Structure 1
Amino acid sequence: MTPPRLSGGDALVRALVAHGTELVFGIPGTHNLGIYRALAEHDVKHVTPRHEQGAGFAADGYARVTGKPGICLTTSGPAVLNAMTAITQSYSDSVPVLLISPGMPLRHPGRGNGTLHEVRHQSAALEAVIGYSNRVHSVAEIPLAVAQAFAHMTSGRPRPAHLEIPLDLIDAVEKVSDVAPVPLAHPPADAVTIAAAARRLSSAERPGFIIGGGAKGAAEEITTLAERLGAPVVATANGKGTFSEHHRLSIGAGLHHKAVADFVAECDVVVAIGTELASTDLWNGPLKFPGDLIRIDVDPAQMITNANPDYRLVGDAHATAEALNQRLGKGNAGQDSVQRAERWQKLFRKHARTQGATWLPLVEAMREVLSPGAIIAGDSAMVCYYGTLSNLPLEGPASFLYPTGFGTLGYGLPAAIGAKMAAPDRQVVALHGDGGMMFTLPELATAAQERLALPVIICDNGGYGEIRREMVDRSEPVHGVNLPGIDFVQVAKGLNCHGVTVDDSDRLATALRKAFAADRPTVIHVVGDLAGA
């Protein structure tokens, strides 16, 4: 069969559809119009955020909830650089997002000539930041480049990718052959190492688990394994909810509490699954493992980074946990395993509630209203990392979307939009501080345009509260962090959202219930003591 003649835009969208793409977050521009024509003709759902950074964060939220690559489409030059922060956040947290952009023409002069949106070495800039950028050199190459990008994003450790199409190829027409998606294998760790780890776990008297974002695809297997061993489980921010926090063996989420360090020190065997054990999770220095450490990770390099395990299980978390379960048989859970877990739960909760005391009334109001399977899309805000991370129990993988590694501001709202588009039947809440909210505030218009019943909680403490606290702790002048108040309710209404101000937990709970039943987003402006002001 003779390959069809397609434009670059048609070849791209046709390849995306072949790889299961149903939704694209993007902003049209002069150089990508041929792609937008193809999106319309192929009936691919498109959401238009108000800034490319918002498009990237939304694609990230969508990817975290679905497990499939999120697609972010921009034009060239400043648009790509606007999206770079969001895509770097995806890289830091191991999220598969495909950033697609035009680039300068094939025969563009190496030193430039003042073409619109001209950036020298745009692809090289993305390659330097996220490790993968592919600039195609023909229309015929586009299906191959898409297949390669998806293979990169979905095999091994998930990472984002950038695909650059020279602007003169988008409307150019060539013969194009389809390239089918690459079949992906998700093998377990090698059988010899699994057998050795299973023997060690069989003899463990005080086992424990640490689970991270890389464990999201193995929730059922990890639950079975923990129950079989009677092992208490603690989660990182990105692992929160993968092991239900209502489970009797769950200690909680957040590795930075003293109780976690003490728990790890007590264990004779710790199983760490899909976690970097990085300082952004630990805060207070590396954990010490006086017992044996069994580490399960799909990334061989990460396996020995931040902690060198006694048992190195390089493989897919789902397949490896399943293999361990098969090896262990009935397991060896002791009668005192639940009592042991309860003891550590109490110590963890004591530390978490002390650190998050300011936000406990707000957290309790949310807990009262949220249904099982609810998703919190949090910003890098005090109410998130002090308040909800360790004090609001959640259940289900990807139930807490949080910008851990890169620590960007402005993540919560656009990520919530992506999450709600991915899971329209689940409750989704965006949770922000007033400072970070201003980074992506215009995305309220995006959520309103899509008619999303999305509560957007803004805890107003009058500026950059965390930096203010650090200045005080350093006995230095408090400078540049106190921001004049914003009437977020009026802003919300101006962007076609509902808006309400609350100053106590009962009003917050009422506002949340109404927001989940609303016909559009609702900004809930939290002020006073409830916001930690």
Structure 2
Amino acid sequence: MTPVKKTVGEVLVELLEANGVEVVFGIPGVHTVELYRGLAASPIRHITPRHEQGAGFMADGYARIAGKPGVALVITGPGLTNTITAMGQAREDSIPMLVISGVNRRDSLGHGRGLLHELPDQHGMMKTVALYSHTLLNPDDLPAVVEQAFSVLLSGRPGPVHIEIPTDVMSASISVPAMRAAKAMRPNADAASLRQAAALCAAASRPVILCGGGAIAAENEVRRLAERLGAPVVTTTNARGMLAGHPLLVPASPSLEAVRRLAADADLVVAVGTEFGQTDYDMNANFGFPQLSQLIRIDIDAAQLARVPAVLPILSEAKAAVAGLLDVLPEGSPSRDGAERAAAARKAALAELTPKMRVEISVLDAVYAALPDCIIVGDSTQAVYAGNLYCEAPRAKSWFNAATGFGALGYGPPSAIGAAIADPQRPVICLVGDGGFQFSLSEIGSAADSGTKVIFLVWNNDGYQEIENYMIETGVTPEGVKPSAPDFLLLAQAYGVPGRRLASVDELAGALREANTRNGPSLIEIHQTRTAGATA
């Protein structure tokens, strides 16, 4: 029997389907047309952003909510370099992302012949940001390369991976392989480490648990552990919403002195899925987070375990490790003052914040009160910075933003679209500043095209207010911090998107509920000084 043959592009689409891909984000071009050959007949949905950076950010937001890799499909050269910023954010925040790009034909690579979209060494460039990057020189290697890419995405610490396919390989005919999904191979804690951790936990009288984004999948296990130990649970930005409303929860940044005192006073700290990065633990760069003499670290990344030493490092995915620890933890009485310590830390953390920040946090509270099922996706803007310091999100994955790790402006709008595509049943609020919004304004059109229920909540403070304040505080005369903004309502109207400018924050709940009745996107603007109640 003659084996069935298809082009590399057609087989690629089938391999993506086999690995559970339902959506790809991309902009087609002459360097990727052959990769699109099989898409029209595929159940995979294609979303077209207005810029390749938007494709990457959409894949990021999609991955955070869907819990599986986001996929971006971009052309060689500028298409791929436009996507690198999004890959940098994904790498810093441990978000699984597959970027598939074209590259010029095989016989041209490295020769500098001036071909369209040519780079000196595209693969070498990508290796600096991707966890894995491969140039498909042999068409028959496609199934193995796709499997390896997904194995990297699903096994270890997540991040971006990259496959580039030369234009002359895309149209090559290959035998259709047996379709199979890549398998996750995650490290699990060894029994000896779990017994040692259990002994340390049993001996502790003032334990504290620190949770990062890597702990989200272990939320139920972390709750049980916290209750068994009577341990306050501190959540970083990417873990915010875990244990929502629990008396042991401290939804505040470890950059705050109140949280640092809580950790310093503990006789045992259990850190789960957190890298101790600066944007969570040292936002003000004052190096004030305490040295923890009794630290258990649970992390999926051996390199991270080595970077911040612990008395007991445990290489494992979070869920398996915490579940295993619970299985061997001896019965005992929990710390009696855990809820009291957590309550004191919450109160003191809020008291540290400026009146302006507390007003901004009250706006976030109003958003969640108006739309309890919503997801807030933030850009780098002042209200988001305040929320990263303290925000009582109603559940895990209901608060995330780009004001962590890589810190890319313009992240919010496309990422919110990706999140809304991953979960169309929930309203998605894109909280974005007037400065950051101008990095990706045109993605309003992408939201309209895709019919996603994204509510763009624009926090307008007439420029880069955060940077202007910082310049003033450091004695630098502000310069370059007042970019003019368009009339956002008119811009939304140009895309057929309804908009509203609030006279008072008191109008916010009604505006959100009205926007939520629509099937597509909406825009609401809050001006920091012209909207009553937006500032202290």
Mapped partners of 1:219, 1:273: distance in 2: 10
Asked if structure 1 preserves the Cα contact closer than 8 Å seen for 2:56 and 2:72, the reply is yes
Asked if structure 2 preserves the Cα contact closer than 8 Å seen for 1:432 and 1:458, the reply is yes
1:365 paired with 2:371, answer: no
Asked if structure 2 preserves the Cα contact closer than 8 Å seen for 1:376 and 1:400, the reply is yes
Mapped partners of 2:401, 2:377: distance in 1: 6
Residue in 1 that maps onto 2:298 = 296
Asked if structure 1 preserves the Cα contact closer than 8 Å seen for 2:356 and 2:535, the reply is no
Mapped partners of 1:402, 1:503: distance in 2: 26
Asked if structure 2 preserves the Cα contact closer than 8 Å seen for 1:264 and 1:289, the reply is no
Farther-moved stretch of structure 1 (391-400 vs 461-470)? 391-400
Residue in 2 that maps onto 1:394 = 393
Deviation at 1:211, TM superposition (A): 0.4
1:430 paired with 2:444, answer: no
Q: Report the CA distance shift for 1:264/1:335 in structure 2 as closer, same or farther (over 3 A).
A: closer
Deviation at 1:353, TM superposition (A): 6.0
Mapped partners of 2:395, 2:264: distance in 1: 28
Where structure 2 has 5 or more consecutive residues not aligned to the other structure, the ranges are none
Aligned CA-pair RMSD:
1.7
Deviations 1:449-480 (A, max 9, x none): 11222211111101011110111011221111
Letter in 2 for 1:88: G
Residue in 1 that maps onto 2:279 = 280
Deviation at 1:289, TM superposition (A): 3.5
Where structure 1 has 5 or more consecutive residues not aligned to the other structure, the ranges are none
Partner secondary structure for residue 486 of structure 2: coil
Deviation at 1:190, TM superposition (A): 1.2
1:253 paired with 2:252, answer: yes
Residue in 1 that maps onto 2:153 = 153
Asked if structure 2 preserves the Cα contact closer than 8 Å seen for 1:277 and 1:286, the reply is no
Q: Report the CA distance shift for 1:141/1:515 in structure 2 as closer, same or farther (over 3 A).
A: same
Mapped partners of 2:391, 2:510: distance in 1: 18
Mapped partners of 1:91, 1:158: distance in 2: 8
Partner secondary structure for residue 467 of structure 1: helix
Deviations 1:288-329 (A, max 9, x none): 145410100011110121x21111111110000000111115
Mapped partners of 1:195, 1:427: distance in 2: 44
Q: Report the CA distance shift for 1:216/1:483 in structure 2 as closer, same or farther (over 3 A).
A: same
Mapped partners of 1:265, 1:129: distance in 2: 35
Asked if structure 2 preserves the Cα contact closer than 8 Å seen for 1:353 and 1:360, the reply is no
TM-score scaled to structure 2, two decimals?
0.95
Residue in 1 that maps onto 2:347 = 346
Partner secondary structure for residue 313 of structure 2: strand
Q: Report the CA distance shift for 1:458/1:531 in structure 2 as closer, same or farther (over 3 A).
A: farther
Asked if structure 2 preserves the Cα contact closer than 8 Å seen for 1:267 and 1:291, the reply is no
Q: Report the CA distance shift for 1:516/1:392 in structure 2 as closer, same or farther (over 3 A).
A: farther
Asked if structure 1 preserves the Cα contact closer than 8 Å seen for 2:361 and 2:391, the reply is no
Mapped partners of 1:121, 1:325: distance in 2: 50
Deviations 1:172-204 (A, max 9, x none): 212242362233233421111110111110111
Farther-moved stretch of structure 1 (215-224 vs 356-365)? 356-365
Query: Equivalences for 1:472-491 in 2 at 5 Å?
Result: 472-491=472-491
Partner secondary structure for residue 129 of structure 2: helix
Partner secondary structure for residue 410 of structure 1: coil
Mapped partners of 2:332, 2:220: distance in 1: 16
Asked if structure 1 preserves the Cα contact closer than 8 Å seen for 2:198 and 2:330, the reply is no
Partner secondary structure for residue 501 of structure 2: strand
Q: Report the CA distance shift for 1:523/1:63 in structure 2 as closer, same or farther (over 3 A).
A: same
Mapped partners of 1:16, 1:249: distance in 2: 42
Residue in 2 that maps onto 1:262 = 261
Residue in 1 that maps onto 2:182 = 182
Letter in 2 for 1:295: R
Deviation at 1:527, TM superposition (A): 1.0
Deviation at 1:330, TM superposition (A): 4.0
Deviation at 1:271, TM superposition (A): 0.6
Farther-moved stretch of structure 1 (222-231 vs 330-339)? 330-339
Q: Report the CA distance shift for 1:4/1:330 in structure 2 as closer, same or farther (over 3 A).
A: farther
Deviation at 1:532, TM superposition (A): 4.8
Residue in 2 that maps onto 1:16 = 16
Mapped partners of 1:82, 1:405: distance in 2: 19
Letter in 2 for 1:304: A
Aligned positions, number: 529
Identity %: 38
Asked if structure 1 preserves the Cα contact closer than 8 Å seen for 2:60 and 2:96, the reply is yes
Residue in 2 that maps onto 1:239 = 239
Farther-moved stretch of structure 1 (507-516 vs 287-296)? 287-296
Residue in 1 that maps onto 2:417 = 417
Q: Report the CA distance shift for 1:96/1:80 in structure 2 as closer, same or farther (over 3 A).
A: same
Query: Equivalences for 1:400-411 in 2 at 5 Å?
Result: 400-403=399-402, 404-411=404-411
Residue in 2 that maps onto 1:447 = 447
Deviation at 1:354, TM superposition (A): 4.5
Query: Equivalences for 1:497-516 in 2 at 5 Å?
Result: 497-516=497-516
Mapped partners of 1:18, 1:3: distance in 2: 19
Residue in 2 that maps onto 1:198 = 198
TM-score scaled to structure 1, two decimals?
0.96
Asked if structure 2 preserves the Cα contact closer than 8 Å seen for 1:55 and 1:72, the reply is yes
Partner secondary structure for residue 475 of structure 2: coil
